[in-house]
Structure 1
Amino acid sequence: MNILITGATSGIGEQLCRDYRQAGNHVIACGRNKEKLAALEASTTGPGKFTSLAFDVTERDAVAHVLGGYAKAYPIDVAILNAGVCEYIDDPQHFDAALVERVFAANFFGVVYCAERLLPHLQPGNRLVVVDSMARQFPFVRAEAYGASKAAVHYFARSLQADLAGTGIEVVTISPGFVETPMTDRNDFDMPMRISVTDASKAIIKGLAKRKQHIAFPGVFGWILASMQRLPMGIQMALAKRMKQSQK
């Protein structure tokens, strides 16, 4: 298969590139840094092919030129839109709106810009895979920008899923919990049930192989968050406040 992956030079995206190439697929690795993409190609092994595309998902013109140009010329069976960032709001009374804009630029509009260029060239049986986060399910403290961006991209993907019904193009959503990546390594709080990037990649590959429309992992943590989401708002807020106090 021809599998395109954004955010390919670190975390989940990097591991997916390694695992899919090892399994004999053609990996189209997308990232901002040409040097990191070259290093990734040199360090991956397996019978699969490797193509790198260097562009920033937050720059619509660059996405149109590089990704759009590639999608027009070459087939893509699965496009995994994985690129994302996380920034926290430490002072909610004096936050910088530019922080929220940066997070939405990568996590939401990065997906929108890529989908805009990919969808016209996808064929029946192809899949557009969007990575959101379990964080969208609960009002975690300091996560206003990150959680909101992931909630937005999940809704965007699910609506696309409905609108594309009947075209044969599948839209898949992926909701990871805490995964050991450079992004979560910067967190200064407890991350329950955090899993390795290897296990995250395995969960995604297994779920896609089964043609699932939604993939969430780890399962127990997802069940806990789904249960918390169904609690009365007052109880949810009480739990969120306890989390805030535990981070002080």
Structure 2
Amino acid sequence: MNILITGATSGIGKQLTIDYAKAGHHIVACGRNEEALAALQQQFPDHIAGQKLDITDAEATVRDLRGYTDVDLVILVAGVCEYLDMDAFSADLFARVFDVNVVGTMRCVEAVLPNLKSGSKLVIVGSTARLLPFTRAEAYGGSKAAIHYITRSLQVDLEDRGIKVLSVSPGFVETPMTEQNDFEMPMQVSVEFASQFIRKGIDKNRLDITFPRTFGWFLKFASRLPQSWQLALSRRFKQAS
């Protein structure tokens, strides 16, 4: 299988790249870190090709990704997280986060979509942060809520073309991104667990791949509560952080 993965030099994207390579698949690993890309290629020279990619660069992203015409599976993992400081509220922070997590991801879709065929799969990684109004997560959670909605709409619009669109919503995963968090992260899982769960979900064509299951179930249940209850729950998370 020919696979293209963004965010392949760190965290979940890197682990997916390694695990798919170990399984004998051919991967185009995309990321900004040239040294990390070179290390992946050196580790799996027959299975990984590196593609330096900054998804905030619109022209380069579309140009470079559109060159890969034989792709069976696209997994868009690349993303960033920044938390707001209410005493220094910044619209620029929103712009930075949305430019990567939403616009950058859609640049990748724009690039690969003309080359996807019936039977191809497009997997877009969001976050369970979209499910509740978490403290200081206005930009990050908002971007992931947006990307989840877009993914669901793509499921409708690409169905007639035979393209499977799958949504991934991880909870807390041990990655360089979450290492920067200064609050408790319940039910945190390893990148190995995340990769295994995602790959199983892709194999089974699950439209909604949310994990860990208990954490995801709790947040989905909470998101269906009255808004006043959700705010009360979010206040408790804020006090605990």
**1:54 partner letter:** K
What secondary structure, in the 3-state scheme, does the structure 2 residue paired with 1:3 have? strand
**Alignment correspondent of 2:55:** 57
DSSP 3-state at the match of 2:51: strand
Match of 1:14 in 2: 14
> Aligned letter for 1:213?
L
Identical columns (%): 53
Give the C-alpha shift of residue 42 in structure 1: 2.1
Return the alpha-carbon distance in structure 2 between the equivalents of residues 44 and 15 of structure 1: 13
Match of 1:159 among 131, 153, 162: 153
Structure-to-structure mapping, 1:180-219, within 5 angstroms: 180-219=174-213
Q: CA deviation at 1:44?
A: 4.5
Q: What CA distance in whole angstroms lies between the structure 1 residues aligned with 2:142 and 2:225? A: 19
Match of 1:35 in 2: 35
Question: Which whole-Å deviations, capped at 9, do the CAs of 1:88-109 have from their partners, x for residues lacking one?
Answer: 0021x53111111111111101
SS in 1 for 2:237: helix
Q: Give CA deviations for 1:148-185 in whole Å, capped at 9, x if unaligned.
A: 00010111111011011211011110010110000001
Question: 3-state DSSP class of the match of 1:27?
Answer: strand
For the pair 1:3 / 2:15, whether they are aligned, the reply is no
| Partner deviation per Cα, 1:72-118 (whole Å, 9 max, x = no partner) | xx300000000000000021x53111111111111101111000011
1:222 and 2:216 aligned: yes
Q: How far is the alpha carbon of 1:232 from its aligned partner?
A: 1.0
SS at match of 1:181: coil
1:231 deviates by: 1.1
Over aligned residues, Cα RMSD in angstroms? 1.2
Pairwise CA distance, 1:35: 1.8
Matches of 2:235 and 2:37, distance apart in 1 = 41
Whole-Å Cα distance in 1 between the matches of residues 233 and 207 of structure 2?
A: 30
By how many angstroms is 1:36 displaced?
1.7
1:182-240 deviation digits (Å, cap 9, x = unpaired): 00011010100000000000001111111222211100001100111111111111111
Structure 1 unaligned segments of length 5 or more: list them: none
Counterpart CA distance in 2 for 1:7 and 1:211 is 22
Distance 1:54 1:244 in 2: 38
Segments of 5+ residues of structure 2 without an aligned counterpart are: none
Q: One-letter code of the match for 2:16?
A: L
| SS of structure 2 residue aligned to 1:239 | helix
Task: Please give the alpha-carbon distance, in whole angstroms, between the structure 2 residues aligned to 1:226 and 1:97.
Answer: 29
**SS of the counterpart of 1:227?**
helix
Letter aligned with residue 136 of structure 2:
R
In structure 1, what residue type is equivalent to 2:11? G
Alpha-carbon shift at residue 43 of structure 1 (Å):
3.4
Find the aligned partners of 1:189 and 1:81 in 2 and give their Cα distance: 27
Matching of residues 1-248 of structure 1 within 5 Å: 1-44=1-44, 49-68=47-66, 70-71=67-68, 74-91=69-86, 94-247=88-241
After TM superposition, the runs of 4+ consecutive aligned structure 1 residues lying more than 6 A away are none
Name the SS for the 1:166 alignment partner: helix
Amino acid at match of 2:51: L
Instruction: Specify the code of the residue in structure 2 equivalent to 1:15.
Output: Q
Number of matched pairs: 241
Q: How many Å separate the matches in 2 of 1:42 and 1:138?
A: 42
CA distance in 2, matches of 1:165, 1:208: 16
Amino acid at match of 1:77: D
Residue 155 of structure 1 aligns to which amino acid in structure 2?
Y
Contact preservation (8 Å) 2:30, 2:53 = yes
Write the distance in 2 (CA, Å) between the matches of 1:52 and 1:125.
25
